[in-house]
Structure 1
Amino acid sequence: MTTAPPLATADAALAHGFSLLAEAPALAAAQAEALLEALPGHPPARLLLGMARLAQQQPQAALAVLQPLAAEQPAAPQVHMALADAWAAMHYWEEAVAAGEHALALQPALPGGWLRLGNWCDHLGRRAQAEVAFLRHVQEAVADPALLAAGRALAENDLAQAEQRLRARLRQWPQDVAALRMLAELGLRLGRNEQAIALLEECLRLAPGFAEARRQYALALDRGNRQAEALAQVDALLAQAPRDPALRNQRAVLLGKLGDYAGAIALYEGLLAEHPRDPRLWTSLGHALKTEGESGRAVAAYRHAIRLDPGFGVAWWSLANLKTERLTAEDIAQMRHQRQRADLDQDAQLHLDFALGKALEDAGEHAASFAHYAAGNAARRRQLPYDAALNHRRVRHACAVYTREFFAARAGWGCPARGPIFVVGLPRAGSTLIEQILASHPQVEATMELPELIAIVRELRARAGDPERTSYHDLVAGLSAAEARALGERYLARTAVHRRLGRPLFIDKMPNNFAHLGLLRLILPQAIVIDARRHPLDCGFSNFKQHFARGQAFSYDLADIGRYYADYVALMAHFDAVLPGWVHRVVHERLVADTETEVRALLAHCGLPFDPRCLRPHETRRAVRTASAEQVRRPISSAAIGRWRHYGPWLGPLEQALGPVLAHYPDPPPGLAGSA
């Protein structure tokens, strides 16, 4: 007769057996059988044996052990969950759900239980029941060791470790909505926006009521330039939480991006009625008012933000960035005082540097002004890496790919619509003035700097696996005729939300689109392209003293600006040679000196009859989002021409990087086309 082991020894043997389940289920089964020989009918040993048989992929044998055990142990949650797992392994979903519900009624915090129950309900098509289970899993996930480890890695920005853990989890449980959301968050951090959208769509298919996933989905859609869809998601969330301030703020931001500034202003005003001491809200209101042309109210909003937080650099820079608002000696003294604060973070410091640079420039203190511009740019440059050599290689590769032969072989490709007018070039080159001139014509609608073409570029780059360092031009060369047409149609469909006036032509004033003219010509061959060009020292220094919200990483170093300008000139010269007459160039200094001649030529290139309103663009009322918003609401002027001369002693790196491009302006140096 076998002697029963002491209780402590049996407990130790059981613990060892359970520890073997994942890696050595056969040994776990042997341990259970040894215990049962010594302790016949011992419930924990039978549970171990049933779970071991299941881990050995022997669900029938597991059921033979677990069914009678569950009948004997109606109040044992682990037993009933193991039984549910055995039923599920045999695809007996009804039985699995019944056993799982019984287990979770006994112990709601059973690890992984709600996730498995949701999975089984999904197999049965019980969508509402599955969603309840998945959402309960999200609540209980804070105690899940695997998800906790992945969450710690995310919090510590160890993205490789987080991704490894989350992908392992999803291989085991593809419907783990908590893991799907976390992996989507990781994707957003890494710039994998389309991947994040796909993960969140699956997450919300499984659990439509997962509010945090829907918030993240709205963010991903916004980043993917799908603002109308993002707004629908925010509105769905607001239907459940109508007073949520973060959602209302997000809605205001989206309305602004969609051109509904009146709606955005109303939302900001409502939020400020509840949160009157939030300087960020006052600054956001100021941005919307500035865009709508209400500069007086914008100034008041910015100044109120400053009164609430005198060190709030964003508000100071926003005030200075109005261009037409001159900061006072008192303002300068206050900014200098705030700039010296030891507790001021770097973001506030650099915004104050840009604001002081502008204020001191207006005061004629150019040496001190340049010192602050240089400090602000240096700080921003450290935050925002930029590789001038990589950009140069991309331009050279574009010249190599987009040849006469390339376009001849693809004649007739793309979407034949003629609607868009692309105004391209460097920022601060006069593109907003050109946009305002064209928008003064009754057949043309101004929209804004539309990011859709760049979104297409990002998606093409992502196909190559390295979105930041891969030239996508080879992928463009590999597109089929059907794909090229589909991309053109997609551009028009995605930008349609910004067209409100029903006019035949509309303007896309994203300056950086000059880098994507090859793609543009392929997918929209009838599009009109205008190149805005300004003297390289005026344009270059104007970029240097402008703190952009996003997207202009080249602009925070004088040498980088010079190389970028030279690459731009080379690429435009290449397209002039390959597609003569396709791009119409507007030289800013000529436009200012002989406005009517230049405007007539511009309209003729667009196939538009002359309209005298185009000579008075400052009279055209519309929202303008760019840094030149206030300037284009005034008559055309030469006041900004030659301002670089005040800073000539410090612009050596810019001049050197420009090389022969500076000497030959406004034309490219001889032989430059195709030799970038």
Structure 2
Amino acid sequence: MSPARPGPVLGSAQALVQAWDLYRAGQWPAAEALARAVLEKTGASAEAAHLVSVILAQSARLAEAAAFMEQAVALDPGRSSYHSNLCEMRRQLGDLAGAISAGRAAVACDPAYAPGANNLGIALFESGDLDEAIALYRKAIALKPAFAEAHNNLGNALRAGKQPGEAIAAFKTAIACRPHYAEAHNNLGNMLREQQNFREADLAFQQAIALKRDYVEPYTSLALSLFDQQRSEEAFAVLALAISAAPDRPEPAFYLAQGLLQERKAEGARSACQRALRANPDHVPTLTILARILRELERVEDAIAIARRALDIDPDHLDALNILGLLLMESGDLRGARAQFEQALRLDPGSLNSLINLVSARKVTRDDPCIGALEDAVAGEAGEEARIPLHFALGKAYDDAGRHADALAQFMSGARLKRALLTYDEAATHAIFDRVRTIFTRAFLAERSGRGDPQARPIFIVGMPRSGSTLVEQILASHARIQGGGEMDHLHRAVGRIDQDFGGMVHYPELMHLMEPDQMRDIIATYGASMPRLAPGRRVVIDKMLNNFFYVGLIHILFPHATIIHCRRDPVDTCISCFSKLFRDDIHYSYDFGELARYYGKYAQLMEHWQHVLPAGAILDVQYEEVVRDIESAARRLIQRCGEEWDPACLRFHETDRPIRTASITQVREPLYATSVGRWRRYGPALQPLVDALGPGSASAR
């Protein structure tokens, strides 16, 4: 707000002058009381109403302030400063239409009043009218060349208008006009960060922090810049300083939670969210990221409740709509999921994340508008990394619509971009397979017989991704006595604890040579303690961490009566199904035909080794195509192997209500279908390099 100098009033002039002096001296309560007294005595003092309004506004009592400013305007409608201040008050109250009306009145009253043009520009900027906002900021600057706020506001508008060079110049001019303008330093830093000029951006953020220690935004901006530079530990330190500097603000803890989640430190991220919510229980971004964290922790019902709470506060929050949609999709409520994504797109038709999610949640037809929207997005200005999920989504849409050659072209484009971002040491990965086979011989296993838990009967499902494992788990989890656990890394973590006993110097599988019986018992105990609590009536949890195929020999030692189910599928169908998915967990080998085929070969070789060195029947092979061909026989065989009586519910697997987070999330919500058998044949000659790379092992698919 820009208080004008006192104008002439009828009566009580000396008291009003004294009230202004008190205001300028920082004695606001006394100034307000005196101005109110003048207003009551005269009944028509525009300047007294104006002063009361300014004091109320600066005391964060905006609604009352606006009422007094409206009174001032009514009493003296020719004062541009009154209209200008009313414009700003209405804007802060969220009344953009009222703000613009007051701002236009300010400019009409006095076209040479620079604050009037500036405040109207801010209201127009927030309403989305960039061009007129920019014109008004330039007008304010022409009227008052050293008007630092107008230069800063111009920079914000130019940034929004994708004019980075001019925006940077505007911010620098604002700083030249007022070197201690912390907000302009922060805005300059954000603009430089967008240009990936991290060195100068970080200097600008540090300058803003030095100028205004309790100003939160440059702390969070600097932290985000450090995250961009893969300097997460420094970013966490900056956010810790921000929490200390402004303990009542939720944003630093929110960004801390976001960074910890990115580092896959879900429990730490949850604690950071709790800190942010203590500062502001209704902070919707924090509630939204908390829903994501709870999803990672597989607390789906809690996550859904938090997402719904966020939407109760802000029904139009896109991120909350999308996370709720994903949670509902994973819980089997595909209709509810689609409703969330569709609502997000109604609110923001340009939301690519919402579009991608919607495509994943429904079958796309040839005339579906999603196809055109994705085609436009792929051809648009998105950077290479941002185009990756667009290519995969468009490929899925083309596949649904029967345009299989076009689909493969999109998958190949997305995979090529994704592979360029990954660091994958193929030789080191292959060496792990070889080392496991070298160590786990028949003699090695025989020497360690009897060291495990003879009572435990866990169920493990292993195999390649996209091999039918989710279908097998869903069939088993439909049984009244068996609980699906999904992809759990509990065994890997338990082995890692023993790794630390040797200072991290000896790793699995060589660790097996040093592992004593008590350490094996520790793995058994740690693994058991990590398992989710059994639901009423259930006796066992399925562990569907597919790459436990590295640990099959160890599983046999630890749990000699475990059920180990190996899911198999046509090699080419398995590999093309992997290749066509953008995995959440960066399965690095799946984005190049050659690397994918070689990895598959190593996996198949290891599984043959396990069949050779373990007792006959220790592993149950389940062929996906056989399950599709005769589901009842396959299901009965599975249930019998798990030691349970037959349950007809296993044939109604698509009705089982349990969270599923794999790439097969939508398929297992439908009755069994055979269209995915021989899928690879749809794609034509462009797929031949994959078939050739798989070699003789894929002969059955040719």
- Using structure 2 for the length normalisation, give the TM-score: 0.60
Shift in Å, 1:189: 6.2
Name the residue aligned to 1:314: 353
CA distances 1:136-157 after superposition (whole Å, capped 9, x unpaired) = xxxxxxxxxxxxxxxx9xx999
Are 1:448 and 2:486 counterparts? Answer: yes
- Asked if the contact 1:414–1:525 (Cα under 8 Å) also holds between the matched residues in 2, the reply is yes
Q: CA deviation at 1:260?
A: 3.4
**CA-CA distance at 1:295 after TM superposition:** 0.9
Between Structure 1 and Structure 2, how many residues are aligned? Answer: 476
Hey, what does 2:12 align to over in structure 1? none
Identity of aligned residues (%): 34
Q: 1:218 to 1:500 in 2, by over 3 A?
A: farther
Answering whether residue 669 of structure 2 is matched by residue 630 of structure 1, we say: no
Aligned to 1:378: 416
Comparing 288-297 with 474-483, which one deviates more in the overlay? 474-483
Partner of 2:288: 249
Describe the superposition over 1:420-463 as per-residue Cα deviations: whole angstroms up to 9, x where unpaired.
31111111111111011101111101122112234346666778
Instruction: Tell me whether 1:556 sits opposite 2:556 in the alignment.
Output: no
2:465 aligned with 1:427: yes
SS of 1:607's partner is coil
Partner residue in 2 for 1:540: 575
Which residue of the partner structure matches residue 98 of structure 1?
Answer: none
Q: State which drifts further: 518-527 or 552-561.
A: 518-527
- Secondary structure in 2 matching 1:659: helix
Aligned to 2:339: 300
Instruction: For 1:166-565, list aligned pairs within 5 A.
Output: 231=270, 234-235=273-274, 238-239=277-278, 241-322=280-361, 324-326=363-365, 328-342=367-381, 344-416=382-454, 418-456=456-494, 472-497=508-533, 499-501=534-536, 503-565=538-600
For structure 2, list consecutive stretches of 5 or more residues without a partner in the other structure. 1-192, 200-218, 242-246
Deviation at 1:213, TM superposition (A): 11
Cα–Cα, structure 1 residues 579 and 435, in superposed 2: closer, same or farther, change >3 Å?
Answer: same
The correspondence for 1:599, drawn from 624, 635, 648, is: 635
Amino acid aligned to 1:662: S
* Counterpart AA for 1:597: S
Cα deviation digits, residues 520-547 of structure 1 (max 9, x gap)? 3344444321111111111111111111
Range moving further from structure 2, 438-447 or 617-626: 617-626
Other structure's SS at 1:641 match? coil
Q: Gapped runs of 5+ residues in structure 1?
A: 1-151, 159-177, 204-208, 667-676
Query: Stretches of 4+ moved more than 6 A in 1?
Result: 155-158, 188-192, 209-226, 460-467
The 1:363/1:425 distance shift into structure 2, 3 A limit, reads: same
Distance 1:619 1:487 in 2: 35
**Cα displacement string for residues 13-44 of structure 1 (whole angstroms, at most 9, x for unaligned residues):** xxxxxxxxxxxxxxxxxxxxxxxxxxxxxxxx
The letter for the 1-side match of 2:691 is: E
The answer on whether the counterparts of 2:565 and 2:619 sit within 8 Å (CA) in structure 1 is yes
What is the RMSD of the two structures over their aligned residues, measured on CA atoms?
4.0
- 1:422 counterpart SS class: strand
Cα shift readout 1:556-577 (whole Å, capped 9, x = no counterpart): 1122221121111111111111
| CA apart distance, 1:370 | 1.5
1: CA distance, partners of 2:653 / 2:384? 39
Amino acid at match of 1:620: T
Letter in 1 for 2:435: H
Aligned to 1:69: none
Q: Label 1:466 to 1:492 Cα distance change in 2 as closer, same or farther (>3 A).
A: closer
Tell whether the 8 Å contact from 1:423 to 1:509 is kept in structure 2 after alignment.
yes
Secondary structure, aligned partner of 1:445: strand
Give the superposition deviation at 1:615: 2.1
Per the TM alignment, residue 214 of structure 1 is displaced from its structure 2 partner at its CA by 8.3
Q: CA deviation at 1:377?
A: 0.8
Where does 1:28-39 land on structure 2 (aligned, <5 Å)?
none
- 1:491-533 C-alpha deviation (Å, 9 max, x unpaired): 2212235x43451111112222222323433444443211111
Task: Note the C-alpha offset of 1:306.
Answer: 3.5
CA contact (8 A) 1:317 1:355 kept: yes
Match of 2:624 among 580, 588, 596: 588
Q: Structure 1, residues 378-400: CA drift from partner, whole Å, max 9, x if none?
A: 11111122233322221111100
**Given residue 265 of structure 1, which amino acid in structure 2 is its aligned partner?**
I
SS at match of 1:448: coil
CA distance in 2, matches of 1:536, 1:630: 22
Which digits, 9 at most, give the CA deviation of each residue in 1:452-492, with x for residues without a partner?
2343466667788999xx96311233222111211221122
Cα distance in structure 2, aligned partners of 1:582 and 1:457: 22
